[in-house]
A = this chain, B = another copy of it.
C-alpha cells in the first residue's frame, strides 16, 4: 500500500504545446500490457537530463549521453519489461537499433532520439518486438497522452505518478507536466527511476542544463528507499518553446525564477511519489537537516538517518527510538560535529516534539509525545546541527516485513 499517494486523473494533467505521447502493447516481456511509449517533440525543443552514476549504467543511458549534445532531440522512446542493462556490446547495438527504428518511422535521424529502458536486467532487449510495436505507438500520439504514458512506463509501481502546473511567463500561459516511475530504486531486476517533465516554456540550453541538475538535486536525488542505485535512472526535462512565451535567457530574470520554482514544484512530488510507493512502505519520512556548514554535510546526515535499517525498522514499529537516530547522526561522517549542541525534533501534523539536546535525551521529552508523533503515516525528523546556515531534506520510507518478503521472493 503506498503512503498517501493518489493516482492522478487525466483532467489534472495539462497538455504541453509541442509534445505528443503515444503508447502501445509491444509484448516486450508480457503480452497484453502497454509497455512501449513514444514521446514526440516539436522542432526547436530543448532537452537536458541527468543520469545514473552507476558504472554498470545501462546501454540506453550510454546512448542518451551520446545523443543529447546534438541539441536537436525530437523523440523519446521508453520500453518497460527489459532494462537493457548488463548486456555489454549487444545492448548498445540494440539501443542504437531502437533509435534507428524510431528515426526511420518519424523521418528524423537516430541521433535525435533518446532511448529509455526499464525492467529485467542481464537479458537482451527484444528489439524486433519493440520495433514492431512502434507504428501503433506512433498512431496513438496525442497531446493528452500523459496519463496513459504514466501508466505505460510503470513496472512494479502500484500507482501511476504524474504532476502538472500552469504558470504565466511574459504574459503567456505556460504548462509543465511530468511523469515518473519507480518503486524506490530498490529492484535492480525490475529497476529504475525514470522522470520526464515537459514544458512549453522557451529557455536557452545554457540555462536549462544546470537547471535540470539543480532540480534533480532537490527532488530525485533527495530520495532513498534503501540506498541501492539503479543502472538506468534518468531524469529528463524538455522545453519545447511552443507556448509563445519569450525565451528565457537570463538566470537573474523573474521568468527564470518562476520556471525554476514550477519545475521544482513538479519534480518534488514526482520524486516523493516513488518513495510513497516504495516496496513495503507504511510510513513517509522527511529528514530535514538545518544549521549545517554546507549542504553536503546536511545531506550526509540526512542520508545516514534515512539509510539506517535500524531507524527504518523503528519507524515501521512506530517506535520513537531516539538512540538509533542519534547514533546515525553520529556516524554520518561529519568529523568535527559537536553532539552537545545539536537538537532533534520529531514532528507530524501540527505537533513537533524536541527529543534530543545536549548530547542526550531532551529534558522536556516524554515518551508519550514521541509515541504519538510516531503513530502518524507522515513523519518529519528535524535535525539542527547548530554550526551554520545550510540545510537539506531527504525523503524516505520505513523498512517493513514486506520489504524483505518482496525482495526475497522477487525472482521465485
Contacts and interface: CB of A to CB of B under 8 A. Distances in A.
A403 B309 contact: yes
Contact of A55 (B87, B229, B329, B401): B329
A327 B226 CA distance: 13
A107 B307 CA distance: 48
Contacts of A321: 188-189, 410-411
A320 B361 CA distance: 44
A358 B310 CA distance: 37
Nearest to A87: B360
A404 B407 contact: no
A57 interface: yes
Given A55-B339, A226-B310, A331-B55, A323 B88 contact: no
Contacts of A85: 323
Interface string A41-71: 0000000000001111100000000000000
Contact of A361 (B86, B317, B403): B86
A88 B313 CA distance: 26
Interface residues of A, number: 67
Nearest to A186: B310
B310 A407 contact: yes
Contact of A403 (B120, B404, B407): B404
Contacts of A334: 55
A231 B330 contact: yes
A285 to B, nearest CB: 15
A23 to B, nearest CB: 26
Contact of A188 (B88, B324, B399): B324
Contacts of A186: 309-310
Interface in A351-374: 356, 358-361
Contacts of A409: 317
A258 B87 CA distance: 48
A309 B88 contact: no
A308 interface: yes
Contact of A331 (B228, B308, B407): B228
A24 to B, nearest CB: 27
Contact of A313 (B122, B356, B404): B404
Contact of A309 (B227, B335, B340, B360): B227
Interface string A229-259: 1110000000000000000000000000000
A230 to B, nearest CB: 7
B412 A401 contact: no
A404 B88 contact: no
B87 A359 contact: yes
Residue in A91, A228, A230 with the greatest tally of chain B CB atoms within 10 Å:
A228
Interface in A105-131: 120-122
A31 to B, nearest CB: 23
Interface string A333-358: 01101011000000000000000101
Interface string A309-326: 110011011010111101
A180 to B, nearest CB: 20
Contacts of A309: 186, 226-228, 309, 399, 403, 407
Given A86-B359, A340-B88, A229 B404 contact: no
A191 interface: yes
Nearest to A309: B226
Nearest to A190: B323
A192 to B, nearest CB: 11
Contact of A54 (B189, B327, B399, B405): B327
A122 B327 contact: no
Given A309-B399, A321-B411, 6 more contacts: A56-B326, A86-B360, A86-B361, A188-B324, A226-B309, A314-B407
